[in-house]
Structure 1
Amino acid sequence: PQLTTTVVSCRPAEWQAEGSHGKKEVVSGFRVVLEDTLLFPEGGGQPDDRGTIDGVTVLRVTRQGSQAEHFTQTPLTPGSRVQVQVDWERRFDHMQQHSGQHLITAVADHLFGWKTTSWELGRLRSVIELDSPSVTAEQVAVIEQSVNEKVRDRLPVSVRELSLADPEVEQVRGRGLPDDHSGPIRVITIEGVDSNMCCGTHVSNLSDLQVIKILGTEKGKKNKTNLLFLAGNRVLKWVERSHGTEKALTALLKCGAEDHVEAVKKLQNSTKLLQKNNLNLLRDLAVHIAHSLRNSPDWGGVVVLHRKEGDSEFMNIIANEIGAEETLLFLTVGDEKGAGLFLLAGPAEAVENLGPRVAEVLEGKGAGKKGRFQGKATKMSRRTEAQALLQDCVSRQSGGVRPQAAGAGAPLPRTGPCGP
């Protein structure tokens, strides 16, 4: 659909847009007002349209009173004639979901007396908030069957405009008008089913909905239940995604779709057992390593150990088993050229001073107390530099003797930590 209209105004503006990973970012551009528009501004639970004005992309549309404001990153000349075009795929999707919401709302009210207190047209699925503390699966099935029967009946959907003084307004369902509402009241009617005040866009016949699928319910706010649903093309896309996932799982699990859940449960149980056995072995290994280091004839000075496999518990077990108070113990686990974890243990004052410096060398961060400092490192490849820092400290404290890592050397003196 296209519309030829006139630019009324164009002013510099900033607004918040959704950037990468769903984060909000400030965008600079222009706020454009047209004499008339095809593009729906957000409202009534429905997101705004997208489209173009003379080929210029419209990034957002909002309502200010009776005006729609179009946000662009290219200015448009006031007084010029322009052509507005709507993104029909997005618009039709919103029409299907919004008309689907009206139908579900009316049926839930008729069958069970549940009022809709709010709704949200989401990017992947929509949510209706029902004024009921609980909704059973059987009740959901009854609602779904009823709404799809009405879709198959091809009931027409019509739009009327009533003046605020029209007595019929009192008979129309609605949740109230916005404070800044002006002009006539728009009423959407599903023949024989529902009449509702609404500013949103809708299909002209329920057959355009194709089908409605209610995905289930979730606990909502106090004494509310959220009903999750899809309408029209979203159902087809959902089936396509589900079928693709089913095919992939069939290939991975080597079994039919009917056995997928049981196969995954078996894999989970097997993984838990393997993790438990691995953890026990890792703990035994930590104890063995600790005793080997402690009983080594080369024990003293700075003791260094790195393992690719391990975690914080692994390093702490070694430190606990060793229990050295006169030796600096520098342990690391993780990718030798990437990220990992580190632990520094030894005399409390020395560790307190050296811990942050080791973290800085490893380009990481950490914290500690009582003779322990541990944290995350992003550059494990620099652990030799950290080791050299510690050995230099021991060398200066012990009168110039530079001990070898995990090798011979004097114990670290108790008289003061290494300075900066």
Structure 2
Amino acid sequence: MAFRCQRDSYAREFTTAVVSCRPAELQIEGSNGKREVVSGFHVVLEDTLLFPEGGGQPDDRGTINDIAVLRVTRQGSQAHHFTQTPLNPGSQVQVRVDWERRFDHMQQHSGQHLITAVADHLFGWKTTSWELGRLRSVIELDSPSVTAEQVTAIEQSVNGKIRDRLPVTVRELSLDDPEVDQVRGRGLPDDHAGPIRVVTIKGVDSNMCCGTHVSNLSDLQVIKLLGTEKGKKNKTNLVFLAGNRVLKWMERSHGTEKALTALLKCGVEDHVEAVKKLQNATKLLQKNNLNLLRDLAVHTAHSLRNSPDWGGVIALHRKEGDSEFMNIIANEIGSEETLLFLTVGDEKGAGLFLLAGPAEAVENLGPRVAEVLEGKGAGKKGRFQGKATKMSRRAEAQVLLQNSISTERAEV
């Protein structure tokens, strides 16, 4: 028997009874983005308005007696509702569905059936899988390539059928019904029981499906194909939006256009050209800045070399700089008698460091400097460089180097 949500996808609330309630755990994504396990209960109802995930469609959200349902999964002929509050078996409960989420899934799923059928009819491409994503949906087509002209042809055809207001109906067929062989489908789940549910778009497609669907293509409003992406071997992914997602996409795009118009101080039609000019100007500035930084590195190296403090440990920090800046200084100095300790980046935060000088000393002291700066690095042939998270401890690292040099001289 189909669930209430499958018999009437437009129903938003109804009353049923609790069959069972047992302790369970659910893995969810926490506020920090990491997976975490929460304790709760698996509630089984006599019937349900909340669709359990299946057929490429995510599960519904909703409430049972105003208690939030965090997940709905199918186990054989039952739907398990995960809640964090127990419900008494035998009690009557009011079930409500999150209608915005449900209707969105109906639009995307029926849209997928329509696109799949049209792609097959026009070009003979079979759909091998599909994904109903949070912001967009993807259909995997059994074709190594799809041209822009073919995408346009599919989009025009599906939207024409939406304008024709074609009805969408749901029937149940027995497993031995000869009509089953005429219905498109990718097979039944191993634990399937009972009749086969068939979703038909009049004159277009009949397909085995357990999901929730619109009753008329007019409820799809419009379908927008966003283009194609490279899929698995010899497959192409077709990206699409249906219904309200198209309107939200247009709203986001319009908001972006308004923001760019204000920032670039030009009309929408000139956005691309304005960004290209900015990119070219940025590249030129980066090139000039790199040349200046190299010149500064050479000048700095000569200044250090000619400094009256030359010898022992020479330390230098510069907020602006990179690995190349430090290596140019080390190359220009080229000393094997002096320890050169260079750092760049945030004086109190993260940055880069380089230790250069006598190979044996650098090999021994490099890891110790990295430890003091709470970073990591590697080195060879008289150089050790890496990343540091605590640049504020530069003075400690410098003292470590100076003490090491003093100890070596005392021993000699």
Which digits, 9 at most, give the CA deviation of each residue in 1:180-239, with x for residues without a partner?
Answer: 110111111111111111000001111111100011111211221111100000000000
Which digits, 9 at most, give the CA deviation of each residue in 1:137-163, with x for residues without a partner?
Answer: 111111111111111111111111111
2: CA distance between counterparts of 1:31 and 1:303? 67
> Structure 1 residue runs of 4+, over 4 Å off?
20-23
Give me the TM-score of the superposition, normalised by structure 2.
Answer: 0.94
2: CA distance between counterparts of 1:135 and 1:172? 26
2:235 equivalent to 1:251:
no
Structure 1 letter corresponding to 2:154: I
In the alignment, structure 2 segments of 5+ residues that lack a partner are: 1-11
* Superposition map of 1:18-417 within 5 A: 18-20=29-31, 23-399=34-410
1: CA distance between counterparts of 2:243 and 2:386? 51
Which digits, 9 at most, give the CA deviation of each residue in 1:303-348, with x for residues without a partner?
Answer: 0100010011111111121112121111110111221111111222
2: CA distance between counterparts of 1:26 and 1:74? 16
2: CA distance between counterparts of 1:31 and 1:256? 56
Which digits, 9 at most, give the CA deviation of each residue in 1:25-81, with x for residues without a partner?
Answer: 333322222221111111111111111122221111111111111122222233322
SS in structure 1 at match of 2:192: coil
Deviation at residue 22 of structure 1 after TM alignment = 5.3
Structure 2 letter corresponding to 1:37: T
* Cα RMSD for the two superposed structures: 1.5
Moved more, 238-247 or 342-351: 342-351
Moved more, 232-241 or 297-306: 297-306
In the alignment, structure 1 segments of 5+ residues that lack a partner are: 400-412, 416-420
SS in structure 2 at match of 1:398: helix
Q: Report the counterpart of residue 16 of structure 2 in structure 1.
A: 5
SS in structure 2 at match of 1:17: strand
Which digits, 9 at most, give the CA deviation of each residue in 1:266-320, with x for residues without a partner?
Answer: 1111111111111121112111111211122320111010001001111111112
Structure 1 letter corresponding to 2:50: L
Moved more, 231-240 or 62-71: 62-71
2: CA distance between counterparts of 1:9 and 1:360? 58
User: How many residues align structurally?
Assistant: 401
2: CA distance between counterparts of 1:318 and 1:108? 62
Structure 1 letter corresponding to 2:139: I
The percent identity for this pair of structures is 88
2: CA distance between counterparts of 1:148 and 1:217? 18
SS in structure 1 at match of 2:135: coil
SS in structure 2 at match of 1:41: coil
Q: Report the counterpart of residue 408 of structure 1 in structure 2.
A: none
Distance 1:21 1:99, change over 3 A: farther
Moved more, 39-48 or 348-357: 348-357
Give me the TM-score of the superposition, normalised by structure 1.
Answer: 0.92
